[in-house]
Amino acid sequence: MSRKTRKLKKATPPEPLQEGDNREIVLSVRHLRQYFKSGFGRNKLVIPAVDDINFDIYKGEVFSLVGESGCGKTTTGRTIIKLYQPTGGEVFFLGKRIGGGPFELKEKIREARRETRHKVAELREKMNEDIKEAGDNANRVEAIKKDYQKQMDAAVEEKQKIVDELKEEIRARKKDTADENYKLMKKMQMIFQDPIASLNPRMTVKEIIAEGLRIGGEKKDKVIAQKVNEVLETVGLLPEHASRYPHEFSGGQRQRIGIARALVVSPNFIIADEPISALDVSIQAQVINLLNDLRDEFGITIMFIAHDLSVVEYFSDRIGVMYYGKLVELAPKDELFKNPLHPYTRSLLSAVPLPDPNYEKGRKRVRYNPSMHNYENDLPKLHEIKKNHFVYANNAELEEHKQRLKD
């Protein structure tokens, strides 16, 4: 069978991370990696912006990613919606794989090759010893040689089989990533951070909102106009706003346009990338309330990316905390605020200023120093320490965390 005609194996969605949870999973991310490269030769630098993260998002919930700027939360969102090619790992959306990268498979291939090389070298050494023992007996030497050759061939063949399988998987992931499945992908939409920069200043609001519909093949002007008007009303704007340009609106209204653009194709899942951090205080509440209404009304699942913890606490169901490309803690909201385990989470929580002078006077900031971890021998992993509460730690730290959990 030639490579082109061979049918690639379809990926099956992975097992859920949380056992015993029967809710429908909208999005699952497994071992996702996004590395950025810069420079060449001596100056080459590989930045692991997202490094091996796993999570599931259930239907109808708000999942938040928090962390300081540069920790990779925005990159995660952008990789999920395929604005970037993932370096490694897989992304499953509504049970189908929509993207994947070859990183860990390539590692596996390399490892298999290395192992076989070692194995062959060992066998060769043994063979030489045996030959020496055998001495001048030509027949025996021949037999030994034949025997070892057989073993070596078997090892190489085995390796080749593994490598072929892995290569096939890489090809499958590549194909899934390149696949422009509009019907599936339009179920996932994104709201961007800056409402000024993310709207084309030369298009009217109607054109901006209708763009997604037109790409989807909708050609009837009547239908488009009706849908645009409907969605404008949903986000609290008026139908006559459709003929205006973005600069004629205030910040909060512009962010509503961005939300309307995402909503018009009736998505199941929205990635909201810091939708309120560029807005004024009094406007922020409007946008949060709107997102909350949309969730109640349409049952939309939202992945909310933010660094303002008080907003995250108010708005979300589960929270993932990221630090330099790693997901360090993942828990339901109440659990996370009650039992923050990872030192970074604790430091982040202690840095949130609250509008309460008495509390502020007593607030003590916990500092986080990444060099406090000793990960040399004992490698860290995401452990489920309590039901639905995951923390990134090694075994020694896990014990410590468990003790903290009790009190």
Positions touching other proteins (CB under 8 A) are 68-69, 250, 252, 280-286, 288-289, 292, 307-311, 313-315, 337-338, 340, 346-360, 362-366, 368
Q: Least distance in Å: CB of 357 to other proteins?
A: 5
Residue number, 120 or 349, with CB nearest to other proteins? 349
Number of neighbours of residue 294 by Cβ within 10 angstroms: 18
Torsion of CA 108, 109, 115, 118, to 10 degrees: -140
Residue number, 107 or 280, with CB nearest to other proteins? 280
Q: Least distance in Å: CB of 269 to other proteins?
A: 24
The vertex-324 CA angle with 318 and 325, nearest 5°, equals: 65
Q: Least distance in Å: CB of 243 to other proteins?
A: 20
Number of neighbours of residue 189 by Cβ within 10 angstroms: 22
Residue 191's DSSP bridge partners are 272
Q: Least distance in Å: CB of 194 to other proteins?
A: 13
Query: What DSSP state is assigned to residue 340?
Result: -
Render 123-146 in DSSP notation, one character per residue: HHHHHHHHHHHHTT-HHHHHHHHH
Residue number, 249 or 390, with CB nearest to other proteins? 249
Residue number, 76 or 116, with CB nearest to other proteins? 76
Q: Least distance in Å: CB of 380 to other proteins?
A: 21
- C-alpha closest to that of 185 among 285, 81, 287, 74: 81
Q: Least distance in Å: CB of 48 to other proteins?
A: 18
Query: What DSSP state is assigned to residue 10?
Result: P
- C-alpha closest to that of 10 among 96, 134, 72: 96
3-state secondary structure of 121: helix
Residue number, 107 or 356, with CB nearest to other proteins? 356
Residue number, 126 or 338, with CB nearest to other proteins? 338
Using a 10 angstrom Cβ sphere, with 0-12 exposed, 13-18 middle and 19 or more buried, the burial of residue 315 is buried
Residue number, 215 or 354, with CB nearest to other proteins? 354
Residue 63's DSSP bridge partners are 303, 318
Q: Least distance in Å: CB of 356 to other proteins?
A: 5
